[in-house]
Structure 1
Amino acid sequence: MNARTTRTLAAALSLTAALAISGCSSDSDTKADGAKADGAKPAMTVSGAFMPEPVNDQMAGAFMVIKNDSKTADKLTGITSPLSDDLQIHETKNQKMQQVASMDVPANGELNLERGGNHVMFMGLKSKPKVGDKVTIELRFEKADPVKVELDVKERTYNAQTSNAH
């Protein structure tokens, strides 16, 4: 082989190796911005969002169903609202609630935030909403774009599961 052939062969091998290495990503690989390697971002929708009328201005709960119609799992990582500067994600295990940093929203699945289960807590309300009011929140996710949601303020005894069974 002459020097030119050797350089061409070396360049071709280097290019092949680089392509092989960059092509070795799995479906679960994500880019730095959180998008999947194939560019698909989860798209979240929310239904049944409500807040029972708070008893006082110390705390309130919020409940909803977050649906992920994509093939990419995601996580609910935070909530913001003009009603409170301290919103928390709570899980309930063994009838005890505790704050968690995030909650999984499975691919092609749902995250149910419901009474007696996982939910959102508002701590230190700036005002006390009444039945019929609407409370705006913004859900933040690890990968999906933020989602603005309006919570309907309902009677303290309201429960979505029993209200939907007509």
Structure 2
Amino acid sequence: MTALAAATALAGCGSGSSGSPGSSGSSDASRAELSVSASYMPQPVSADMAAGFLTIANRSGAKDELTSVSSDIAGQVTMHSTVGGAMEEKTSFAVPAHGQLVFKSGGNHLMFEKLKRKPEQGQKVTLKLTFAKSGPLTVEIPVKSATYNPSTGH
């Protein structure tokens, strides 16, 4: 049933272009320079689970690794990849030097599990992203309609 709820939460969604900026790191060449864009959460159809999408950009020559995500609205936030239609939980994701880590519908995504409250369209959800080398990054992501598709803006 969890896979069905996750699939339902992910239905009708795509990659985004709106979100809250954030940055972490320094000009030190050994640290990643990270920022977040294209973030959103479709309004959950389930009372206990939601999905989240965002893009983490790394403007430096130093690679990093996203090791965990947390949010005050969820008992836990898990990271997943989707390959060939199969969803698999991951403990970390690489953030390549001069590259991006993309979480989008049908691919890598975040699952907010054991929701403490059901986020509503128009609200913002706070996330704390923890990295292996860089300091933590706190961002707010907007809650969009359950059928939001960033490519159309609806």
TM class, shorter-length: 0.7 to 0.9
May I ask how many residue pairs the two structures share in their alignment? 128
Corresponding residue for residue 155 of structure 1: 145
Is 1:43 the counterpart of 2:33 in the alignment? yes
Q: Which has the higher contact order (CA 8 A, sep 6+)?
A: 2
- Give me the CA root mean square deviation: 1.7
Corresponding residue for residue 85 of structure 1: 75
Whole-Å separation in 2 of the counterparts to 1:65 and 1:163: 17
Is 1:67 the counterpart of 2:57 in the alignment? yes
Whole-Å separation in 2 of the counterparts to 1:161 and 1:118: 17
- Scaled by the length of structure 2, the TM-score of the pair is 0.78
Which amino acid letter does the alignment assign opposite residue 69 of structure 1?
A: R
Of Structure 1 and Structure 2, which has the larger fraction of its residues in strand? 2
Corresponding residue for residue 76 of structure 1: 66
Whole-Å separation in 1 of the counterparts to 2:100 and 2:55: 7
Whole-Å separation in 2 of the counterparts to 1:143 and 1:67: 15
Alignment of 1:1-166 (within 5 A): 40-163=30-153
Structure 1 residue 122 displacement after superposition: 0.5
Contact preservation (8 Å) 1:115, 1:159 = no
Contact preservation (8 Å) 1:73, 1:106 = yes
Return closer, same or farther for 1:106/1:162 CA change in 2, 3 Å cut-off: farther
Q: Deviations over 1:104-150 (max 9, x none)?
A: 11100001100111011001100001100000001111111111110
Computing the radius of gyration over CA atoms, which structure comes out larger, 1 or 2? 1
Give SS of 1:161's match.
Answer: coil
Which amino acid letter does the alignment assign opposite residue 144 of structure 2?
A: K
Question: Identity, % of aligned pairs?
Answer: 41
Whole-Å separation in 2 of the counterparts to 1:119 and 1:72: 23
Structure 2: unaligned runs, 5 residues or longer:
1-24
Structure 1 residue 151 displacement after superposition: 0.9
Contact preservation (8 Å) 1:53, 1:131 = yes
Structure 1 residue 39 displacement after superposition: 6.0
Structure 1 residue 162 displacement after superposition: 3.5
Which amino acid letter does the alignment assign opposite residue 115 of structure 2?
A: L
Contact preservation (8 Å) 2:29, 2:61 = no
Of Structure 1 and Structure 2, which has the larger fraction of its residues in helix? 1
